Chains A and B, each alone.
Chain A
Amino acid sequence: DAGVIQSPRHEVTEMGQEVTLRCKPISGHNSLFWYRQTMMRGLELLIYFNNNVPIDDSGMPEDRFSAKMPNASFSTLKIQPSEPRDSAVYFCASSLRGTGGGKETQYFGPGTRLLVL
């Protein structure tokens, strides 16, 4: 398996522009997570999906952030408009959620390094 795939790997944009990050989870996994990592705040969960349905978006910073999962093999995280404080590494992770509840490990993608000027 190719693992979790994220694109782009690097993104440099100007303040006010729209940014779209993409993620392809591991085939067969039914949970998908978006994280943001900064030196100051560490690794923060933004939103997660089970079976393509958003379950918890309490970590999404504000309305400028939105995430979708139109099917089991694709998800996007969009920032519109982007701001310099959004600069961070964004990770996507996937897992296989069992019927017994959450004891699964998460498999992370390589991340997208975002710089907003």
Chain B
Amino acid sequence: SQKIEQNSEALNIQEGKTATLTCNYTNYSPAYLQWYRQDPGRGPVFLLLIRENEKEKRKERLKVTFDTTLKQSLFHITASQPADSATYLCALDKAAGNKLTFGGGTRVLVKP
């Protein structure tokens, strides 16, 4: 069956360091992958989208990689700040239709 795995353990990191999150998937051939941020008591907010033919995507202090051979995406937050503390979700689609399947999310806590 199709599976999306994110590290369920919280990631504690010191301010200024780089946080790296992983998203692994099995039995999937996604056309693209998205990353969302979710703060407590709020809905997820879109951050980045990367397509299957793209290796890397950047947006300000965020960087996403997509390795379809390893079936893995890495999400990096560089120069992390306490305001980056949140849960980060990866989501995969299928080429047909606009249905997304979400991973369980990884909580990030940036300490000052």
Contacts and interface: CB of A to CB of B under 8 A. Distances in A.
A25 interface: no
Contact of B98 (A43, A91, A97, A110): A97
A110 B42 contact: yes
A101 B42 contact: no
The dominant DSSP class at the A interface is strand
A44 B44 CA distance: 13
Interface of A: 4, 31, 33, 42-45, 48, 50, 55-56, 91, 93, 95, 97, 101-111
Given A42-B104, A45-B99, A55-B97, A103 B31 contact: yes
A43 B97 contact: no
18 contacts: A42-B102, A43-B44, A45-B101, A48-B99, A101-B31, A101-B96, A101-B98, A102-B31, A102-B94, A102-B95, A103-B51, A105-B46, A106-B46, A106-B100, A108-B44, A108-B45, A110-B41, A111-B41
